[in-house]
Every structure is written in C-alpha cells, then in structure tokens.
Amino acid sequence: MRRQVIPALRLSAVMLGALACALILKPQATAAAAPEPHGDAKRGAYIFAAGDCENCHTDKKAKGAFLAGGPPMNTDFGVFFAPNITSDKKNGLGDWSYEEFHRAMREGKGKGGELLYPVFPYPSFTGMTDQDIADLWAYLKTVPAVTQPSKPQKAKAPYGIRPLLTGWRVLYFHQGPLKPAPGLTAEQQRGRYLSEAVVHCQECHSPRNGLGAIEADKAYAGNPKGPDNQDAPNITPTGIGKLTLADLQEMLKTGMTPDGDYLGSGMGEVIEGTSKMTQADRDAIIAYIRTIPAKPSTPKPPKK
C-alpha cells in the first residue's frame, strides 16, 4: 500500500507545482490582451465603413465575395493581397479569438503572432480604442463565411522574410491607443482620432521614405506616388486652404468638388465610408484637418 501511496502523493505534489506555475505564468502570457469590452455590431459597422476595410479586403473588380480577399495592391515592396476576413473558420477569422483580433489591430500581428506588413494600415488602427476594436469584432462576426483561401503575398526580396519587419517596427511603429493631443478642442480631438486612427488619412496623404514609412514631419503634405499610382494631394492649408467649410463638407459627404467633379481613386473609396458618417463626425474631421500647419507640397517624381 505505502509504496503506491507515496508515488501518488509525489505525483500530486508535482502536479500542484505545475498548476501553481501555470497560474503564476498565465497572467503574464495573456497580459497583452485587454479584457473584451461588450462589442456592438451596429457601432462596429460604422467604424468598419469609416476605416474602409471593405475596399482592401474585397476584390470588387473581379466580383469577389464581400471580405473574402482583396485585389492586388502594387507597392514598391511587392504585390500584396488583403486576406479573407469573413467568419470562415479555415480561410477567414472564424477561428480567431477576440484577443487575436485585438492584437492584429493594436500590434499588427497575425494569428500565429507573425508580423504583418504595414500595407495593412495597423500603424494607424493601433490608435483605436478597445471599445471600437470590440465593436468591429462584433460586426465582423456577423459577416457570412466565404470559403476562399487568401492569396499569398508577393513581397520583393528580402521583404518576404517577415521577421525583418522587427527593425521597421522599432523605428516607425508607435503602439496605441492614440493619446489626446494637447491644445485641441473636444471636436478637434474627435476629428484627430477619426482621421488618424480610423480613416487613416495620413496613410495616403503623406510622403514616405525609402522604407515605406510616413515622413512624420511632412504628414499630410501629399503623396504623388502612392500604391497603385494614387496621387493623394497636399491637404494642409497649402493644398486645401482655399476650400470653404461648405466645400469640405460636400467633399466628405458626396465626393463632389467645388468644380462639380467627383473625387476618385482611393478617395472615392474613402468617401463611401465618410458618406455614412454623422455630420458631426465629418465636421470633426474637417475641424482637425484645418489645424494642421501649412507644409510645402511633396514634389511630383520626374516623368519617365
């Protein structure tokens, strides 16, 4: 009897020790994840439209299914495809936890912790509040599953090696949430949050350095050679100083410019989102954009 009891006791001591270790280690292992706030799918749909997730993640030209994977994005670093983010378990986010989704938005990491390419504008989305991320997640869970594998990224050498992004992140990635800036009114503060963390205006309207990072001091001064040859103009007062409040309101609501033209290219897609925002939120964006100091426009690259 004794000979059997003692090993059993020893075994349970070892198990208890292991359990204690697990309990001690567990909070550390999950420390990065914020507790899941109650997500509201309706509010999530609003942030989803404002963040323009749809146009990158849906190949509309090829009549692809909603959020089942985007069209090729041609950049200096290769051709990238936004993956399937439907609720499909195998190809989409169906198998993801809230913590994993939160980490993708806040830290730019994939399900396995792999570093994501900043063509996914997580350097902007990192600024979102936990509540907005939880609302987005509640909305994405309502998106019907589509069984369509995501296309592999075609990064140019050496960018195919994701761990190389570590260095880029040390230099250029500032993890959020976005902190309020001093000296702004409540409306401008809301506008800054929407512009920088959600609609990510600066991602298109700023020049980038040789490593594809936004040149912070020249933010909003325009980028004549964005992905897919988008030419996003200077939206500091140098570029838009002559536009009235009413002009800007119309542009963000319907895309119509004072000449009666319509804004196109990437901005046309952005306006699909801003057109669905409340007038108060569009006004907040305008109020913030108008606080940005005038900067000289980014020169156009020489014609080849």
Task: Pick one of 39, 44, 51, 176: the residue that binds ligand HEC (CB under 6 A).
Answer: 51
Distance, in Å, from the CA atom of 277 to the CA atom of 271, rounded to the nearest integer, reads 10
For ligand HEC, what does the binding mask look like between residues 186 and 225, x meaning CB under 6 A?
---------x---xxx-xxx--------------------
Distance, in Å, from the CA atom of 239 to the CA atom of 249, rounded to the nearest integer, reads 16
Count of all residues that appear for the chain in the document: 304
Q: Which is nearer to ligand HEC, 26 or 153 (CB)?
A: 153
For ligand HEC, what does the binding mask look like between residues 108 and 147, x meaning CB under 6 A?
--xx----xx-xxx---x----------x-----------
Exposure of 42 by Cβ count < 10 A (0-12 exposed, 13-18 middle, 19+ buried)? exposed
| Nearest to 268, CA basis, from 244, 240, 232 | 232
Paired tokens of 291: 């606080």
Q: Which is nearer to ligand HEC, 219 or 270 (CB)?
A: 270
Q: Which is nearer to ligand HEC, 2 or 303 (CB)?
A: 303
For ligand HEC, what does the binding mask look like between residues 4 and 33, x meaning CB under 6 A?
------------------------------
Q: Which is nearer to ligand HEC, 18 or 194 (CB)?
A: 194
Q: How far is CA 248 from CA 11, 50, 294, in A?
A: 72, 17, 17
Based on the shown chain and the rule CB under 6 A, indicate whether residue 44 belongs to the binding site for ligand HEC.
Answer: no
Interaction residues for ligand HEC, span 259-298 (CB under 6 A): 263-267, 270, 285, 289
Contact in structure between 290 and 187 (CB atoms under 8 Å): no
Distance, in Å, from the CA atom of 58 to the CA atom of 68, rounded to the nearest integer, reads 6
For residue 292, the tally of other CB atoms under 10 A from its CB is 20
Residue type (1 letter), 66: F
Residue 63: which region, alpha, beta or left (left: phi > 0; alpha: psi -120 to 50)?
left
- How near is the Cβ of 10 to ligand HEC at its closest, in Å? 45
Distance, in Å, from the CA atom of 190 to the CA atom of 279, rounded to the nearest integer, reads 13
Paired tokens of 16: 């208890």
For ligand HEC, what does the binding mask look like between residues 54 and 73, x meaning CB under 6 A?
--xx----------------
- How near is the Cβ of 144 to ligand HEC at its closest, in Å? 16
- How near is the Cβ of 155 to ligand HEC at its closest, in Å? 9
Tell the residue number behind the tokens 């599953």, with chain if given.
145
| Nearest to 227, CA basis, from 210, 211, 209, 212 | 212
Task: Pick one of 219, 232, 277, 287: the residue that binds ligand HEC (CB under 6 A).
Answer: 232
Based on the shown chain and the rule CB under 6 A, indicate whether residue 80 belongs to the binding site for ligand HEC.
Answer: yes
Residue type (1 letter), 156: K
Q: Which is nearer to ligand HEC, 136 or 214 (CB)?
A: 136
Q: Which is nearer to ligand HEC, 21 or 80 (CB)?
A: 80
Positions touching ligand HEC (CB under 6 A) are 51-53, 56-57, 80, 82-83, 85, 101, 104, 110-111, 116-117, 119-121, 125, 136, 153, 195, 199-201, 203-205, 230-233, 235, 239-240, 251, 257, 263-267, 270, 285, 289
